[in-house]
Amino acid sequence: SPLVLVFQRARSSTTSFSLPFDADKTLLASSRQRRIARLTTDGLTRQPTSPTPQLPNMPQKKIRCTFKECKDAAQRIVGDCGFCNGHFCGKHRLLEDHKCDGLEDCKKQSHERNAAQLEAERTQVIRGV
């Protein structure tokens, strides 16, 4: 007996067609019908009839240093500045070298962090022992 497949689309129209099986439950369908509907253990999944076009493998455009006139390639990971969100080459990756806008904030945070650590580690003298 043929198997009847029913597809319901978003436009509320229903499409159905039957796929023939032989006596040992082997699908006797054309390759086009097999591409349209593939039976899985979970049920029926619909796949596109035409292959999706693939773009040729084009290399990604290299990220360049964002320092003024520099055209060198930016270094990955170590060339990313967390203060100005720029990407820099090996020559300009340090805050001082690319004249970062966040340089003063960085210095201020560093001084505050060091002061807090020194205060926490301060030795207190106990008198009268």
Q: Tell me: the pLDDT tens digits for 15-45?
A: 555 556 655 555 555 555 555 555 444 455 5
**One-letter-per-residue 3-state SS of the chain:** CCEEEEEECCCCCEEEEEECECCCCCECCCHHHHHHEEEECCEEEECCCCCCCCCCCCCCCCCECCCCCCCCECCCCCCECCCCCCECCCCCCCCCCCCCCCHHHHHHHHHHHHHHHHHHCCCCCCCCC
- pLDDT of amino acid 40: 44
Domain with CATH 4.10.1110.10 in the chain: 61-118
61-118: CATH topology? Zf-an1 domain (4.10.1110)
Task: For residues 72-97, give the mean pLDDT.
Answer: 89
Regarding pTM above 0.75, the answer is no
Q: Tell me: the pLDDT tens digits for 35-71?
A: 555 544 445 555 555 555 556 677 778 889 999 889 9
- pLDDT of amino acid 78: 86
